[in-house]
Amino acid sequence: MEYARLARTYQRLEETSARLKLIEELAGLFRDTPKALLRKVVYLCQGKIAPDFAGVEIGLAEKLAARAVAEAAAVAEEKVQSALRRRGDLGSVAEELLAERGARRSHLTVEEVFSHLEAIAQAAGKGAQTQKITALAELLRRATPLEARYLVRTVTGKLRLGVGDASILDALAEVYAGGRANRVPLERAYNICSDLGLVAETLARGGISAVERMEVRPGNPVRPMLAQRLGTAEEILAKLGGRCAVEYKYDGERVQAHRLDGRILLFSRRLENITEQFPDAVELLQTGLRPKRAILEAEIVAVDPDTGELRPFQELMQRRRKYGIEEAAQRIPVGLFCFDLLYGEEGDLTRRPYLERRRALERAIKPSERLQLATWKLVASAEELEAFFEQAIADGCEGVLCKSVAEDAAYQAGARGWLWIKHKREYRTELQDTLDLVVVGAFYGRGRRRGTYGALLVAAYDPEADRFPTFCKVGSGFSDEDLVELPRRLRPYEVSRRPARVDSRMEPDVWFEPAVVLEVVGAEITLSPVHTVAWGRAREGAGLALRFPRFTGRYRDDKRPEDATTVDEIWEMYRRARGRAVRVAESEG
């Protein structure tokens, strides 16, 4: 298959800001792709050559890529650099310079491009830089100008087509599963293996039934199951059928530990491989985990080395570092509190009910001082639940997680359903609770903030529509360091137009591809004529907005944009707050 076919699709994807059109374009591409190539084409559409968790980075520094562009276009490096200063995008520069060199017929195939990209990613050690530049220059020399645009963006990690994984799944369903309505089994498969290429290949080869038969496998991170939230013990019990399991909610970082081939791998909630960061946690599991192949979930928490008491989340964050890992592990030791087993001696457990998984977890762990099972209890009354909650708070936890003990309470990878419900202290006072919102735009600052941003336009996530509706403009809570830091963090995601998945009636000075998640607090949720969260749900022609939003200082790097607070969660908070207001008014009246 010719790479030119892919480049043309990229171009059309880039030009559209309508999600349905994106899917149509992708479906057209997948239809034209031979089955044996589909896996690679899917990765390329994601701007990658392997699933994220594999840790294969093409990521060629722009400076090196610029050298390859100069080589291929046979111009001086300075010319590339000055064009880059003018245009701000090396892909467009490559396109322009190669076009000046005169037209050519392309013969690049997808296979060739892919294997060159692999070579670029894999080159290591002495002479690696030169190898990478040579490999890219070779591709560019044979590329048409349009192909060059996308090759350069791919190797520098800046493809940014505005295509989310959900759009790719929709397109695959369109071509191979009889329509978008049949996306659900594909989603499940993706959620349990985190490898879109693998799902595509399985689907193309064995049809939807092969996809349905896919199971979790140690080595492939599973998208975590998430919890809904409710404010009172009564509501929780009513939702869970009168009885449930309650577990301590530890305030640390979620990890998914995989054991295979004698190794332990640790994945973050965002499915990044964080094994290197926690050698002590790896050690704990090497000795304390019985099954030779396993997938286990735990909260990793900083513990006081002297007293064994739990330490706050902020201390654990100091363990997220590249250097001085051993020293940090000595200074800030961690404990693991295990709460689920997705794979064990019994094989795939994700379709088994909670109680069965918990029993399997108990068999799988040899507990020690720093490797423990999450403290839990079965409860059947609000009083018992409340008492357990108070005990959790007293023991340094954030609250509790209430889990369904129904026969069909399976592990729902990637879903925020009602089988798990969290209950935190803050919910009692209105909107003390924090929201995790995605930055989608910014307004330039004035006065003291000249040269940086004055406010950020932030959005929630709507998983059904796979869109990011705006929720508020955040201008306060930023320290001087944040004001320096923010442009640096956000610049890589800057795009010239509203990204297709962003739902906004406001026009900020700068748009960003949804990527950076911030923790925000606010005073209350109100109706809004401009913000698009839950548009039309409370009132026609109005959405919801957060009043008096303030950045808490916490960057949620552990969350993907799709892990942001959802529209339904916000709707629920709004509805409950209003319910309360009505009750207060009635009792006062």
Binding residue for ligand AMP, selected from 30, 250, 389, 511, defined by CB under 6 A: 250
Longest distance between any two alpha carbons in the chain, whole Å = 82
Read off the tokens for 353. 């009910």
Nearest alpha carbon to residue 443 among 426, 434, 456: 456
CB of 401 to ligand AMP, least distance (A): 4
CA 385 to mean position of chain CA atoms: 32
Q: State yes or no: residue 299 binds ligand AMP (CB under 6 A).
A: yes
Min CB(499)–ligand AMP separation in Å: 25
**Residue 494, both tokens:** 């800057």
Residue 254 in the binding site for ligand AMP (CB under 6 A): yes
Q: Is 374 in the site for ligand AMP (CB under 6 A)?
A: yes
Centroid of chain to Cα 101: 41
Q: How many residues bind ligand AMP (CB under 6 A)?
A: 14
What one-character-per-residue DSSP string does 24-57 give? HHHHHHHHHS-GGGHHHHHHHHTT-SS-GGG---
The amino acid at 183: R
Q: How do strand 543-547 and strand 524-528 relate by DSSP bridges?
A: antiparallel
Pairing of strands 371-373, 334-344: parallel
Q: Which is nearer to ligand AMP, 374 or 546 (CB)?
A: 374
Q: Which of 277, 255, 266 is CA-nearest to residue 323?
A: 277
Map residues 508-527 to x or -, x wherever contact with ligand AMP holds by CB under 6 A: --------------------
Residue 567 binds ligand AMP (CB under 6 A): no
- For ligand AMP, the binding residue among 247, 433, 462, 519 (CB under 6 A) is 247
Please state, as a whole number, how many other Cβ atoms lie within 10 Å of the Cβ of residue 349.
23
Q: How far is the CB of 238 from ligand AMP (least distance, A)?
A: 21
Burial class (CB in 10 A: 0-12, 13-18, 19+), 583: exposed
Give yes or no for residue 554 binding ligand AMP (CB under 6 A). no
Q: In Å, how far from its chain's centre is CA 29?
A: 25
278 in contact with ligand AMP (CB under 6 A): no
Residues 324-353 within binding reach of ligand AMP (CB under 6 A): 339
**Least spacing, CB of residue 460 vs ligand AMP, in Å:** 14
CA distances from 487 to 60, 157, 456, 476, 516 (A): 22, 18, 11, 16, 11
Say if residues 302 and 321 touch (Cβ distance below 8 Å). Answer: no
Indicate the helix (H) or strand (E) that contains 393. Answer: helix 382-394
| Nearest of 417, 462, 502 to residue 188 by alpha carbon | 417
Quick one: three-class SS letters along 65-106?
A: HHHHHHHHHCCCHHHHHHHHHHHCCHHHHHHHHHHHCCCCCC
Q: Which is nearer to ligand AMP, 118 or 384 (CB)?
A: 384
- Stretch binding ligand AMP (CB under 6 A), from 17-25, 243-251, 348-356, 377-385: 243-251
Binding status of residue 401 toward ligand AMP by CB under 6 A: yes
The interface mask with ligand AMP, positions 405-444, x = CB under 6 A, is: -----------------x----------------------
In this chain, which stretch among 62-70, 110-118, 242-250, 287-295 interacts with ligand AMP, using CB under 6 A?
242-250
Rounded to a whole number of angstroms, the minimum distance from the CB of residue 269 to ligand AMP is 6
Angstrom distance (rounded) from CA 378 to CA 181: 38
The residue (of 146 and 400) whose beta carbon lies closer to ligand AMP is 400
Q: Is 473 a known active-site residue?
A: no
Residue 414 DSSP code: T
Least distance in angstroms from the C-beta of 316 to ligand AMP? 11
Site for ligand AMP in 164-203 (CB under 6 A): none
Instruction: Please pick, among 158, 249, 473, 559, the residue that the annotation labels catalytic.
Output: 249
Between 280 and 299, name the residue whose CB sits nearer to ligand AMP: 299
* Binding span for ligand AMP by CB under 6 A among 126-134, 190-198, 222-230, 492-500: 222-230
Give least dist CB 254 to ligand AMP, A: 3
From the list 43-51, 110-118, 248-256, 355-363, the region that binds ligand AMP by CB under 6 A is: 248-256
User: In the bound complex, what is the minimum distance in angstroms from residue 246's beta carbon to ligand AMP?
Assistant: 9
Q: Which residue of 84, 189, 227, 342 would you call a contact of ligand AMP, by CB under 6 A?
A: 227
Which positions touch ligand AMP (CB under 6 A)? 224, 226-227, 247-250, 254, 269, 299, 339, 374, 401, 422
Query: Which residues are known catalytic residues?
Result: 249
